[in-house]
Structure 1
């Protein structure tokens, strides 16, 4: 039965191309599998295609950015030209027709196909429906042998569910968005405002996820009300409060530096209430 299905699947993949001698790459029924990798910073879902390379979906933290990549383990001597994409039904889906998915440019080197956003989501959706996205290259550089690479939907469900779960847990901000933060405080207070607490939670969640953090610098500032020594101590207390809260993320204390400048480095005039609010701050800078 298995050999019959495999033979039928091959016939389906090559339907309409009987007059061409295709070089075909695809995971057979007993080989097809999907492996998911999950973290708050990156998700991937990968299928190994024997003799060829990998098909991989991936997304990173920040705004939605799904990508699909078809990558060969070796450089193929393919002629330049568009790559035709089709969604083929499984061999056992009698009566279902193939569907055209358009064309995409051929990328030189090992990364043969790179799709983003809507096109990548379409590939993921076709697989979830049990279809086999297949890529048709017109020919090798010798002009004689067309090439197809097929991505199998066999054993896709579990990996797909894990991948979707990971996508929902990706942090919605990038390192660039978290690397520099300004936290504001009420007059003569060390306690966090709701906005400051929310930003600190974002920073802490990122620190827990990214082991590449090399240094965190926390600098305290105040307005000019009160004496200089009083303001220096107030700035120090604020930096210590921020440091202690962020250390709960597990970062090495040796990689954290704190410093109070008191009222010496205002960013706005202390002659107005609005300016004083801007000066009552702690600045957190993270590097990796």
Structure 2
């Protein structure tokens, strides 16, 4: 492991914030025997890589399905910050690398009663230091004794195998997020319960996502028709389309009691029924989903 006590004392002299020569250093890190990394979630919608820091809490990197490659780091502390705290993150070499100097990564702030977080570029930088076998270490003044310094090290021991699996997971994330599908309008072919081609593709996106994230607080399916075919028949058709869509969502794991369906028939047009394009737009089902967390 880092030999954290010896290393941290040397590093403390390099910090931009000066500490009293009388200050004590509280060190939190996993020993070589304790250090482990686990890929706790690996699906096309989310990847989570976790590391336990004894007596302190849990460190994790996460990436979620999105149009953009993304990465977040969270330091989930057993004891949350008692106040806003300035923190420096440094990359520390393990003891077996000799006198290799430490390197400043970034400055961040912990906020009262919140976990520590890094996003995007800073999280990627930290991940890169672990990949090189370094030990990213957070330094800050103790919340309850300003004369003491706290050092929290994230160990690179046993990191490499799980890191490779994590990056494989990230490479296979879906290229869209829940927000991209949580409000979706699908359109039907004329006099049919069959979706047009564009809407079939959008429905497949929804199905692929929900196979892995089916937990919903509420799903509302609102179905509408154009004004051709008779008011009563259109209301029945819209209800049938809504019920059909409910079955599709149940098949990918959404609980039926979480789904509300409404068939509005000819009501609430969004375009003129005098033109083909307007009627095409009015023949629609709108799916609204809320995860609630």
TM norm structure 2: 0.80
Partner of 2:39: 36
* Count of aligned positions: 281
- Partner deviation per Cα, 1:109-158 (whole Å, 9 max, x = no partner): 463x3211111111111101111101222456434322211111000012
Offset at 1:203?
1.8
Distance of 1:42 and 1:71 partners within structure 2 = 18
Larger mean Cα displacement after TM superposition, 101-110 or 149-158:
101-110
Distance of 1:6 and 1:127 partners within structure 2 = 13
- Partner deviation per Cα, 1:23-73 (whole Å, 9 max, x = no partner): 211111111111222144443222111122222222344454422222331
Q: Are 2:241 and 1:246 equivalent residues in the alignment? A: no
Q: Gaps (5+ residues) in structure 1?
A: none
Q: Are 2:193 and 1:190 equivalent residues in the alignment? A: yes
8 A Cα contact 1:33 1:47, kept in partner: yes
8 A Cα contact 2:207 2:252, kept in partner: yes
Determine which of 93, 100, 116 is the counterpart of 2:97. Answer: 93
Offset at 1:284?
2.3
Partner of 1:283: 286
- Partner deviation per Cα, 1:225-270 (whole Å, 9 max, x = no partner): 3334554454355445534443431334455454443323322111
RMSD in angstroms over aligned alpha carbons?
3.0
Determine which of 79, 85, 88 is the counterpart of 1:84. Answer: 88
Cα gap change, 1:68/1:281 in structure 2, threshold over 3 Å: closer, same or farther?
A: same
Partner of 1:261: 264
SS at the partner of 1:82?
A: strand
Distance of 2:128 and 2:136 partners within structure 1 = 10
Partner of 1:45: 49
Distance of 2:26 and 2:280 partners within structure 1 = 68
8 A Cα contact 2:214 2:252, kept in partner: no
Distance of 2:78 and 2:145 partners within structure 1 = 20
Partner of 1:271: 274
SS at the partner of 1:15?
A: helix
Partner of 2:16: none
Cα gap change, 1:148/1:192 in structure 2, threshold over 3 Å: closer, same or farther?
A: same
SS at the partner of 1:206?
A: helix
Cα gap change, 1:237/1:107 in structure 2, threshold over 3 Å: closer, same or farther?
A: closer
Larger mean Cα displacement after TM superposition, 267-276 or 174-183:
174-183
Q: Are 2:62 and 1:67 equivalent residues in the alignment? A: no
Cα gap change, 1:48/1:244 in structure 2, threshold over 3 Å: closer, same or farther?
A: closer
Distance of 1:143 and 1:213 partners within structure 2 = 45
Partner of 1:152: 155
Offset at 1:207?
2.7
Q: Gaps (5+ residues) in structure 2?
A: 14-20
Partner of 1:116: 119
SS at the partner of 1:190?
A: coil
Q: Are 2:9 and 1:14 equivalent residues in the alignment? A: yes
Determine which of 107, 110, 125 is the counterpart of 2:111. Answer: 107
8 A Cα contact 1:207 1:213, kept in partner: no
Distance of 2:181 and 2:35 partners within structure 1 = 39
TM norm structure 1: 0.81
Determine which of 125, 128, 132 is the counterpart of 1:129. Answer: 132
